[in-house]
Amino acid sequence: MEVTFWGVRGSIPSPGPSTVRYGGNTSCVAVHLDDGGILMIDCGTGARNFGISLLAGAFGRGQGKATVLLSHAHWDHIQGFPFFGPFYVPGNAFTVVGGSQGCELLERVLEQQMAAQFFPVQSYRNMGAHIEMRAVWDDGEIRVGSARIVAHPNPHGPTQALAFRVEADGKALVYASDVGYPAGGPPASTVAVYRDADLLIHDSTFTPEDRQRRVERGLSSVEDAVEAAIRANVRRLALFHYDQDYSDLDVDQLASRGRLQLDARGASGTTIMAAAEGMTVRL
């Protein structure tokens, strides 16, 4: 499978010269499976550019099909939904998969985002494509073509966000954004979901110092991401969901701190990278 980052920022898009290298769009990751299946994980503003790229192919002709996995409904994970071009092409078909509180909530959330006072399209039903909502229960499993996907709820401040493990083509990808572990780090049940992943995309919003000051936000530091990667014995760690105020240089530093920490912990075999908009990783 192939993983492409279209948005790597947390909280709110942060345009400007200081974020050009890593990118300022909010969370969106595309997964292209070997069987042709397409997954979009989260729908931040990065989804707009992903949509534009898809329109050049089958999605532009109304013959596209994809599954959208939503970790949770905070703005930075859904605000690209109204701007995803393929949703507006009749004939395209999408399944939108969201959290354990049920379809009804997911539909209500997306409808409210589209409501007349906020957006001129007024309803996702007016978008044109066939969009089906589907709930996945905590630690429930769904199948998309040859892929097996497990959704695991992680603590995220006062709420929860789903982590997704995608197994296909003999490889395992884990997406774990927006997670604030309790003291003591990721619990065994979480580590089991991340176990031996070929790529772990992990929330690294903060430096450890900034995280300390904003524990209540339920987000991770680069140190938390490294800890999760070590415990789960993952092969490659991608830092993700950077704070909106972090410049490209700040993100460079997050990555080098992560590298130093992995080495210090004897995990030299684990690769670390800071996810950047436009980057593609082949597993």
Partner 1 sequence: MRVRFWGVRGSLPVPGSRTERYGGNTSCVEVTSAGGTRIIIDGGTGIRRLGKELMRAEFEAGKGCAHILVSHTHWDHIQGLPFFAPFYREGNQLFVYARRRDDQNLRSVFASQADAPFFPVSLASTRAKVAFRELQDGAAFEIEDMRIATARLNHPHIATAYAIASDGARVAYISDTAPFTDILFGQEFLSGPPSRRPQLSRGDKTRLRAMAGAVARLCEGADLVIYDTMYTTDEYRQYPHFGHSRPSDAIAVCGAAGCRMLALYHHAPDRADSEVDAMWSEAREQARAQGKTLEVVAAFEGMDLTLGSG
Q: Six-digit token pair at 165?
A: 């493990």
Residues 73, 63: Cα–Cα separation, whole Å: 28
Residue of 3, 4, 13, 136 that binds partner 1 (CB under 8 A): 13
Query: Is-contact 207 166, C-beta < 8 A?
Result: no
Residue of 34, 37, 100, 119 that binds partner 1 (CB under 8 A): 119
> According to the 3-state scheme, what is the secondary structure of 101-114?
CCHHHHHHHHHHHH
Query: Is-contact 1 168, C-beta < 8 A?
Result: yes
Interaction of residue 83 with partner 1, rule CB under 8 A: yes
Contacts to partner 1 from residues 210-229, by CB under 8 A = 217-218
Using the minimum distance from each CB to partner 1, give the nearer residue, 5 or 194.
5
Three-state secondary structure call for residue 175 = strand
Least spacing, CB of residue 82 vs partner 1, in Å: 8
Using the minimum distance from each CB to partner 1, give the nearer residue, 68 or 272.
68
Q: Within the chain, where are the H helices?
A: 46-55, 75-78, 103-114, 188-194, 208-213, 222-232, 248-264
Report DSSP state, residue 182. P
Q: Which stretch binds partner 1 (CB under 8 A): 59-67, 89-97, 118-126, 267-275?
A: 118-126
Residues 245, 18: Cα–Cα separation, whole Å: 9
Using the minimum distance from each CB to partner 1, give the nearer residue, 12 or 249.
12
Beta strand pairing call for 199-203 and 280-282: unpaired
Residues 198, 222: Cα–Cα separation, whole Å: 19
Query: Burial of 105 by CB count in 10 Å (0-12 exposed, 13-18 middle, 19+ buried)?
Result: middle
Q: Mask 164-203, x = binds partner 1 (CB under 8 A)?
A: ----------------------------------------
Using the minimum distance from each CB to partner 1, give the nearer residue, 34 or 210.
210
Q: Mask 24-63, x = binds partner 1 (CB under 8 A)?
A: xx-------------------x--x---------------
Beta strand pairing call for 65-69 and 38-41: parallel
Residue of 34, 100, 107, 121 that binds partner 1 (CB under 8 A): 121
Residue of 11, 177, 190, 205 that binds partner 1 (CB under 8 A): 11
Contacts to partner 1 from residues 243-262, by CB under 8 A = 244
Interacting residues toward partner 1 by CB under 8 A: 9, 11-17, 19-20, 23-25, 45, 48, 72-75, 78-80, 82-83, 105, 109, 112-113, 116-123, 126, 157-159, 217-218, 244, 277
